[in-house]
Amino acid sequence: MMNSWFECKVNYDKAGEDGLLTRVNELYLVDAMSFTEAEERIIREIEPMLTGEFVVASIKKVKINELIDSDIDTDDRWWKCRVMLISIDEEKGVEKTIATLSYVKAATLNGAVEYLASFMEKSVYPYRIVSVSETPILDVFNYQITNETHQKNV
């Protein structure tokens, strides 16, 4: 049973310090098996945090090879890291590269690179970090098996 990652954009009106309502767009990452489940899960996760109405404006499937989370409180940003794994085609004697995408939770760009490098030390392939960029993702909701989920799958 392979899950997929979905970027879910949520829109709602938020009262500013001046009392005026402003439209807020927030992006979340949800681990789910389908678009329908991603929508159900983002609604369930966001509802308790917001007062008033909100809209799930978009859901986009994203291919993520690795998600490197952190338990450190100050690590509050998500970074998108493109990594090239390098392998040698022994028959042809040619170097091949395999593009991978990792999301890393860290406070800073340097922290994200350090966490990624530490994670990649376990790799059997040599690698090259091609790019690291900050994402607007506020939170990640991993897949959780509940009694309701288990009953649906039985």
Structure confidence by residue, pLDDT tens digits, 44-93: 999 998 888 999 999 999 999 999 999 999 999 999 999 999 998 888 88
More reliable by pLDDT, 14 or 59: 59
Q: pLDDT tens-digit profile of 90-124?
A: 888 888 999 999 999 999 999 999 999 999 999 88
Rg of the chain over all Cα atoms, to the nearest angstrom: 19
- The pTM is what? 0.83
**CA–CA distances in Å: residue 137 to residues 27, 28, 59, 127:** 5, 5, 13, 26
Rounded to an integer, the average pLDDT of 139-152 is: 69
Q: Residue 142: what are its φ and ψ, rounded to 5°?
A: -75, 160
Confidence at residue 93, expressed as pLDDT on a 0 to 100 scale: 84
More reliable by pLDDT, 144 or 65: 65
Contacts of 112 (CB under 8 A, 6+ apart): 77, 79, 81, 104, 106, 132
Give the Cα separation of 15 and 8 in Å (integer): 22
